[in-house]
């Protein structure tokens, strides 16, 4: 990314945000409800009032990203996770059977999920690839069943053949942890299908990524690397407005880097896309809380997810849908009345 990155600082929420914006002392971040009063040009170090920031960069940060996937844009979205795998780190393979996966997706949809994200390949650190035909055997019956009931489905896959069959089965969205870098057939497929897309930041592969955690500035480096993925997608003919970006919490990030990235999440809004964040049950929550069992990390997952919303995230990808929907509704009830 050749243009300077601005890091929004002095974030404001609630009535104080609206008052500061009205007084010309702050600007809405990605259209609100968070505002920011200061900004730092990354690489320069100086902190400036919003009125003294470069106009083009300020415009990028304040403009509300386009509506994504035809879903509501006036509130945070919740994406429920259904891992149809025998070895998921977060749920121990509880949804590996087709009937259980369908039941889980149905319950998430009833609980208020906006999207159900269905995956058939484990991508936790150190994992190795799953054959596409095995992945397809896991996910396609689940996608068909839930799509037939009206659920909005995203397919969590990095294989073009699996993406194509999933879209044929009723999925509407592609969610690729490799940001379309794994399979050279994926970019032209997504472009041809004109489907909404999630590009996630990761370095290397799930098997190698935790050896690739050297960053000069984790927030700036992740933003620039996502900018490169975004540019490659656009070059392949994919509409920028159809793309959401995921910073890849837990993927090629070491101890302390996930927390730093979440704390500085507004930097990603320089790219002008909706931000999707997946923190649910992740390892950094266990390190911070002392809870070793992923299924027992709901309170920490909610805390991290709400922090991401305050930093400008628009979509939360979670295992515990009902609890997250309730938390998000309360969050929205507090902050939505002062949204720009």
3-class secondary structure for 79-97? EEEEECCCCCCCCCCCCCC
pLDDT tens digit string along 258-285?
999 999 999 999 999 999 999 999 999 9
Q: Where are the domains of the chain?
A: 6-62, 77-338
The model scores a pTM over 0.85: yes
Single out the catalytic residue among 158, 253, 274, 317: 317
Residue 92 has pLDDT above 60, yes or no: no
Structure tokens at 40: 């730092």
Among 82, 248, 71, 73, which residue's Cα sits nearest to residue 155?
82
Single out the catalytic residue among 282, 295, 297, 339: 282
**What φ, ψ does residue 243 adopt, rounded to 5°?**
-105, 130
Q: What is the DSSP string of 147-208?
A: HHTT--EEEE-S-HHHHHHHHHTT--EEEETTTT-S-TTHHHHHHHHT--EEEE---S-TTT
106 given a catalytic annotation: no
The answer to whether 291 touches 29, Cβ cutoff 8 Å, is: no
Among 74, 86, 167, which residue's Cα sits nearest to residue 121?
86
pLDDT tens digit string along 36-79?
999 999 998 889 999 999 999 999 999 999 999 999 999 999 99
158 given a catalytic annotation: no
Q: Which CATH class is domain 77-338?
A: alpha beta
pLDDT tens digit string along 94-153?
677 899 999 999 999 999 999 999 999 988 888 889 999 999 999 999 999 999 999 999
Q: What is the pLDDT of residue 157?
A: 98
Strand-pair category, 274-277 with 315-318: parallel
pLDDT tens digit string along 301-313?
999 999 999 999 9
| Average pLDDT of the chain to the nearest whole number | 94
**What φ, ψ does residue 242 adopt, rounded to 5°?**
-90, 0
Mean pLDDT of 13-18: 91
The residue behind tokens 């490799």 is 178
Structure tokens at 51: 């009125």
Residue 82 has pLDDT above 60, yes or no: yes
């Amino acid at each position: 990314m050749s243009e300077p990155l601005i890091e929004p600082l002095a974030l404001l929420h609630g009535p104080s945000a609206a008052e500061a914006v009205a007084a010309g002392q702050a600007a809405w971040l990605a259209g609100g409800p968070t505002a920011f009063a200061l900004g730092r040009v990354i690489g320069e170090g100086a902190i400036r009032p919003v009125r003294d920031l470069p106009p083009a960069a300020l415009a990028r940060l304040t403009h509300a990203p386009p509506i994504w996937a035809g879903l509501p844009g006036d509130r945070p979205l919740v994406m429920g996770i259904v891992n149809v795998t025998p070895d998921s780190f977060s749920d121990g393979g509880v949804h590996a059977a087709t009937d259980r996966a369908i039941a889980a997706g149905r319950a998430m949809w009833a609980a208020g999920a906006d999207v159900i994200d269905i995956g058939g390949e484990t991508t936790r650190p150190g994992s190795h690839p799953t054959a596409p035909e095995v992945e397809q055997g896991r996910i396609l019956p689940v996608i068909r069943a839930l799509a037939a009931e009206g659920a909005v489905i995203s397919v969590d896959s990095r294989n073009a053949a699996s993406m194509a069959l999933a879209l044929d089965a009723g999925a509407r969205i592609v969610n690729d942890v490799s940001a379309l870098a794994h399979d050279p057939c994926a970019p032209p497929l997504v472009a041809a299908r004109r489907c909404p897309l999630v590009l996630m930041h990761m370095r290397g592969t799930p098997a190698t990524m935790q050896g690739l955690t050297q960053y000069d500035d984790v927030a700036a480096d992740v933003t620039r690397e996502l900018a490169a993925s975004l540019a490659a997608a656009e070059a392949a003919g994919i509409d920028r407005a159809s793309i959401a970006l995921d910073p890849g919490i837990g993927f090629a990030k070491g101890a302390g880097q996930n927390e730093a990235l979440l704390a500085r999440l507004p930097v990603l809004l320089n790219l002008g896309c909706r931000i999707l964040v997946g923190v649910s049950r992740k390892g950094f929550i266990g390190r911070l809380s002392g809870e070793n069992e992923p299924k027992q990390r709901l309170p920490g997952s909610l805390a991290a997810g709400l922090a991401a919303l305050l930093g400008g995230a628009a979509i939360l990808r979670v295992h515990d849908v009902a609890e997250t929907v309730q938390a998000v509704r309360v969050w929205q009830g507090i902050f939505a009345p002062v949204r720009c």
